[in-house]
Chain A
């Protein structure tokens, strides 16, 4: 157990010292929020009143996904330098190393989420959630981050260079667009509906929005939890398997 704590502390320290990444992950939410609210806000009619209220949860998701996907790069970094052999030669388990990266990713994203919320408040986001709703919303968001971080670790174990692992970031950054994160799904072309309604981002975003705006959430939170649990049930064993294959 202490290996997990030591390696989580390591990953967090390394994240904090990667200044570029810190700046990007804090600047990105600010820019995105401003772009969506001021550039697109006038053109997009979402039906929830002010667009900022509609889009702020979407930007939260977008940034969380982006931050989580950076796990791919950090994992590949460790796998392609000698450090992984040193850890193995000390009988440190691969899952402890990967869990450390996921923990750091969760901490990074909690910070980024706070930044997004601060900006959102500044541009007029006024959620109507009570404390339990807030806790539930943040909980779902963090669970989404954890699931996506493990999935990114899988990508990181598959990639042969940090640059290749960066490609995964692009994919995750794109994922919220065909969902109800920025525009309602029924405004999208028909062929996208199937995908948009059956991808993990949609139930996550719908639960966040319902919880933060005090609207009926329906089955969205349960679907979100099921998605995250499903992703975890796939990604964690896949990580263990790939780590063993990669270090043979």
Chain B
């Protein structure tokens, strides 16, 4: 993320700010994304992900700060940005009463394709997203996963330079989610820059070359998934202590703070990578006399844990 790429950044944001009334939704967002890479903006509900996407796709103007997408300023060169990007928003943006094919043809025409080409492109996209059979049905009859796929296809009617996907897999079953991942991977392979938002750490890890963690309008961490994982344990070790005295003693030995601490239940959670060696070492370190920890379990860390850990620093 250090040296400026020869062809410039696909996305470059500096000090983006946006507030709605008293709520500071974005509070100085800085971000740079390399052309042809996949960047995941990770954050919980209300973090400001959608707001960031809307600013970068010119739908909302920032209160302060600057951003360039595909080399064009999102405020002063809106039309150029719009011609270079595609946006698939968090909620499906399709005509329910048109068929899948009609929706795609319409988007292609609005993107400036002649009638014949728009029809050809629609057929290609339906094929690519496994919707050929459903193409002649109205969108009202589609399942959530089909709708999401069509929604993403609708953003691709004319090869965009930068594709924005706002929570492309939220609400999808595991199989549809996997299909979506393949779509993102194939987009990246074809050289397109993908900017996606997600609430799932695992997804960011799977898909992205670069992960940016957003919390209350600020980036609290950024880097390659591996770097991030080095800083953020992917799992957590839940410890149940034998009594209140043991709880206090072990709590005092936790380095860098516990993820959860609930004295009432005598429960402590600490980050771990989940390997036997690390768990064994942690147990020894926290309970050298081997009398204070009654039970332990290893859990997959949730996004909450990641945030807690990152905001501890």
Chain A positions near chain B (C-beta within 8 angstroms): 2-3, 6-7, 9-10, 13-14, 17-18, 81-83, 85-92, 247-248
Contact of B85 among A6, A10, A89, A247 (CB under 8 A): A89
Interface contact A10-B58, CB-CB below 8 Å: no
Task: State in angstroms the CA–CA spacing of A1 and B83 once bound together.
Answer: 17
Q: Please, which residues of chain A bring their CB within 8 A of the CB of B112?
A: 2
Q: Please, which residues of chain B bring their CB within 8 A of the CB of A7?
A: 110
Counting chain A CB atoms within 10 Å of each CB, the highest count among B59, B92, B138 belongs to: B59
Task: State in angstroms the CA–CA spacing of A85 and B151 once bound together.
Answer: 13
Interface contact A91-B98, CB-CB below 8 Å: no
B207 to chain A, nearest CB (A): 22
**Contact sample, A vs B, 19 pairs, CB 8 Å cutoff:** A7-B110, A9-B106, A10-B98, A13-B102, A14-B95, A17-B98, A82-B89, A82-B91, A85-B87, A85-B93, A86-B87, A86-B107, A86-B154, A88-B58, A88-B59, A90-B107, A90-B110, A91-B78, A91-B83
Q: B178 at interface (Cβ–Cβ under 8 A)?
A: no
Contact of B89 among A17, A18, A86 (CB under 8 A): A86
Q: Which 3 A-B pairs have the closest CB atoms?
A: A82-B93, A86-B93, A91-B82
Interface contact B59-A247, CB-CB below 8 Å: yes
Contact of B110 among A82, A85, A87, A248 (CB under 8 A): A87
A81 to chain B, nearest CB (A): 7
Q: Please, which residues of chain A bring their CB within 8 A of the CB of B159?
A: none
Q: Which residue of B lies closest to A87 (CB)?
A: B110
A248 to chain B, nearest CB (A): 7
Tally inter-chain residue pairs, CB-CB below 8 A: 65
Q: Please, which residues of chain A bring their CB within 8 A of the CB of B86?
A: 89-90
Q: Which residue of B lies closest to A78 (CB)?
A: B95
B36-67 to A contact mask, C-beta < 8 Å, 1/0: 00000000000000000010011111000000
Interface contact A91-B97, CB-CB below 8 Å: no
Interface contact B109-A2, CB-CB below 8 Å: yes
Task: State in angstroms the CA–CA spacing of A248 and B63 once bound together.
Answer: 12
Q: B299 at interface (Cβ–Cβ under 8 A)?
A: no
Q: Which residue of B lies closest to A11 (CB)?
A: B95
Interface contact B59-A89, CB-CB below 8 Å: yes
Interface contact A10-B95, CB-CB below 8 Å: yes
Q: Please, which residues of chain B bring their CB within 8 A of the CB of A81?
A: 91, 93
Interface contact B82-A10, CB-CB below 8 Å: no
Q: Which residue of A lies closest to B82 (CB)?
A: A91
Interface contact A89-B82, CB-CB below 8 Å: yes
Interface contact B57-A89, CB-CB below 8 Å: yes
Interface contact B89-A85, CB-CB below 8 Å: yes
Q: Which residue of B lies closest to A88 (CB)?
A: B59
* Contact A14-B93, Cβ < 8 Å, known A85-B87, A88-B59: no
Q: Please, which residues of chain A bring their CB within 8 A of the CB of B98?
A: 10, 13-14, 17
* Contact A3-B59, Cβ < 8 Å, known A14-B98, A86-B154: no
Q: Please, which residues of chain A bring their CB within 8 A of the CB of B102?
A: 13
Task: State in angstroms the CA–CA spacing of A15 and B211 once bound together.
Answer: 44
A57 to chain B, nearest CB (A): 33
B188 to chain A, nearest CB (A): 20
Contact of A6 among B87, B92, B109 (CB under 8 A): B109
Q: Please, which residues of chain A bring their CB within 8 A of the CB of B87?
A: 85-86, 89
Interface contact A90-B82, CB-CB below 8 Å: yes
Q: Please, which residues of chain A bring their CB within 8 A of the CB of B107?
A: 86, 90
Interface contact A90-B109, CB-CB below 8 Å: no
Interface contact B93-A92, CB-CB below 8 Å: no
Q: B94 at interface (Cβ–Cβ under 8 A)?
A: yes
Q: B19 at interface (Cβ–Cβ under 8 A)?
A: no
Task: State in angstroms the CA–CA spacing of A82 and B138 once bound together.
Answer: 18
Q: Please, which residues of chain B bring their CB within 8 A of the CB of A3?
A: 110
Q: Please, which residues of chain A bring their CB within 8 A of the CB of B94?
A: 83
Counting chain B CB atoms within 10 Å of each CB, the highest count among A14, A83, A87, A92 belongs to: A83
Q: Please, which residues of chain B bring their CB within 8 A of the CB of A9?
A: 106
Q: B79 at interface (Cβ–Cβ under 8 A)?
A: yes
B144 to chain A, nearest CB (A): 15
* Contact A248-B60, Cβ < 8 Å, known A82-B92, A82-B93: yes
Interface contact A17-B97, CB-CB below 8 Å: yes
Q: B111 at interface (Cβ–Cβ under 8 A)?
A: yes
Task: State in angstroms the CA–CA spacing of A168 and B276 once bound together.
Answer: 68
Q: Which residue of A lies closest to B98 (CB)?
A: A13
Q: Which residue of B lies closest to A2 (CB)?
A: B109
A131 to chain B, nearest CB (A): 36
Q: Please, which residues of chain A bring their CB within 8 A of the CB of B90?
A: 82
Q: Please, which residues of chain A bring their CB within 8 A of the CB of B58?
A: 88-89
B80 to chain A, nearest CB (A): 9
Task: State in angstroms the CA–CA spacing of A3 and B108 once bound together.
Answer: 11
Interface contact A248-B85, CB-CB below 8 Å: no
Interface contact B57-A10, CB-CB below 8 Å: no
A92 to chain B, nearest CB (A): 5
B167 to chain A, nearest CB (A): 12
